[in-house]
Amino acid sequence: MALPRPLLLELLLYASCFICGIITAASVTISQGSFDGKCMLYGLVHLNSSSIDVVSSSSPSLCYFVSAISVCVAIFCFSLTLYWTYMAFVDGEVKREKLWMNVTLGFSGVFLFFLLVTGCILKIGRDTLCDSVIREVKNITKCEEAQNKIWKSPINGSQFFSRLHSAETAVWVNFFLWLIIAVLILIQRNKGSEIRSEGEDPSATPSETEPFFNRPGRS
């Protein structure tokens, strides 16, 4: 059975959100591993002779929080994609009740809030780290130039900026995709309520739906 176009578009958006969530979680996790388990969001560095060393870092739980939000969004999107694919091609019937649209809208609001928080954490945290890098390391004007510098072992800073930048970009793309999803669901829900409102109330009794002046007299 072919999926309705709005639902098909919605599934494509879910798939894109899934990919964005995986990119964010993977980028933050790999970046944390490159810094020997340290979360470098809001981190500070210092130039120690000829190598760059970490002065301070954030609690690892901050990076875990960013990764956890992205993974939760990815799992939810993957589950919805599997569910609607099963309903369309295996069960052969696609039904979207208003209740489940409201539930999905609720999840959309929660995800939008946490993605906004996560995006701000990545943006401000990366900027704080980059400001420290540019201030301490001489002869560089951009943060990404420090990727070619020598970092004190066991730290590997060769891709630190690229990974954090990829994570931040994926979060903001994820955020705007969920905005589109929320708008699509709202449009579909409103159209569904309009169609139901035009028909007769299924809970009404026959006497309630009959014209008042044309009712037969009762013996």
Do the beta carbons of residue 25 and residue 171 sit within 8 Å?
no
Q: Which pLDDT does position 116 carry in this prediction?
A: 97
Tokens of 183: 């708008």
- Confidence class for position 117, pLDDT limits 50, 70, 90: very high
- For residue 134, count other CB atoms closer than 10 A to its CB: 15
Q: Which pLDDT does position 210 carry in this prediction?
A: 46
Q: Which pLDDT does position 219 carry in this prediction?
A: 39
Q: What mean pLDDT comes out for the span 35-57?
A: 90
Q: What mean pLDDT comes out for the span 72-97?
A: 80
pLDDT in tens, 128-150: 999 999 998 888 889 998 888 88
Least confident window among 3-7, 29-33, 44-48, 179-183: 3-7
Do the beta carbons of residue 118 and residue 70 sit within 8 Å?
yes
Cα distances (Å, whole numbers) of residue 21 to 26, 167, 173: 9, 9, 10
- Confidence class for position 2, pLDDT limits 50, 70, 90: low
**CA distance linking residue 185 with residue 193, whole number of Å:** 12
Q: What is the mean pLDDT of the chain?
A: 84
Tell me the torsion sign for CA atoms 136, 65, 37, 31.
negative
- Confidence class for position 3, pLDDT limits 50, 70, 90: low
Q: Which pLDDT does position 172 carry in this prediction?
A: 97
40's CB contacts (< 8 A; 6+ apart) are 31, 32, 54, 57, 58, 125, 129, 160, 164
Q: What mean pLDDT comes out for the span 160-183?
A: 95
Residue position matching structure tokens 């500070």: 44
Q: What mean pLDDT comes out for the span 185-204?
A: 57
Domain range summary for the chain, segments of one domain joined by +: 5-191
**CA distance linking residue 219 with residue 89, whole number of Å:** 56
- Confidence class for position 157, pLDDT limits 50, 70, 90: confident
Q: For Cα atoms 166, 167, 168, give the angle at the middle one, nearest 5 degrees.
A: 90
